[in-house]
Structure 1
Amino acid sequence: MGQDAKKQGKEENLMPILEHIGELRKRLIAILLVVFVGLIIGLVAANPVYNYLMAQEPVNGLPLHTFSYWDGIGIYMKIAFIVALVLALPFTLFQVWSFVKPALEEKEQGAALRYIPFALLMLLLGFAFSYFVVFPMAYNFTTSVSERLGLVETYGVVQYFSFLFNIVIPISLMFELPLVIMFLTKLRILNPLRLRKMRRLAYFLMVVIGTFITPPDVISDLMVAVPLILLYEFSVFLSSIVYRKQLEKDAAWEEEFNSLQNT
Structure 2
Amino acid sequence: YILWEVWKFISPALYTNEKKNAKVFVLFSSLLFFLGVLFGYFVVIPMSVNFVATFTVSPMVLNQFTLDSYIGMVKTSVLASGLFFELPIIIYFLTKLGLVTPSFLRKYRKYAVVLVLIIAAIVTPPDVVSQTIVAIPMLLIYEASIFISVFVSKKEKE
Task: State TM-score, norm by structure 2.
Answer: 0.83
* Distance apart, 1:95 and its partner CA: 8.0
**Pairing partner for 2:2 from 84, 88, 92:** 88
Deviation track 1:118-173 (CA, whole Å, cap 9, x = no partner) reads 11111111111100111101110121224984755432122111122221111110
CA distance in 2 between partners of 1:218 and 1:96 (Å): 46
- Compared CA separation, residues 140 and 152, structure 1 to 2 (3 A): same
Structure 1: where are the runs of 5+ without partners?
Answer: 1-86, 250-263
User: Number of matched residues?
Assistant: 155
Q: 1:140 to 1:216 in 2, by over 3 A?
A: same
> Structure with the greater relative contact order (CA < 8 A, sep ≥ 6): 1 or 2?
2
2:147 equivalent to 1:237: yes
Partners of 2:66 and 2:144 in 1: how far apart? 39
After TM superposition, the structure 1 = structure 2 runs for residues 142-157 of structure 1, keeping only pairs within 5 Å, are 142-146=52-56, 149=59, 152-157=62-67
Q: Verify: 1:170 aligned to 2:80, yes or no.
A: yes
Give the structure 2 partner of residue 46 of structure 1: none
2:156 corresponds to: 246
Indicate if the aligned counterparts of 1:178 and 1:232 stay in contact, CA closer than 8 A: yes
2:132 pairs with 1:202: no
Find out whether 1:133 has 2:43 as its counterpart. Answer: yes
Q: TM-score, normalised by structure 1?
A: 0.52
Is the partner of 2:100 in helix, strand or coil?
coil
When residues 92 and 108 of structure 1 are mapped into structure 2, their CA distance, relative to the original with a 3 A threshold, is closer
Corresponding letter in the other structure for 2:43:
V
Q: Match of 1:132, as an amino acid? A: F
* Structure 1 residue 228, shift from structure 2 partner: 0.4
What's the % identity of the aligned pairs? 35
User: 2:138 — aligned with what?
Assistant: 228
| Cα distance in structure 2, aligned partners of 1:197 and 1:184 | 16
Is the radius of gyration larger for structure 1 or structure 2?
1
Q: Could you tell me how far apart the structure 1 residues matched to 2:100 and 2:127 are?
A: 35
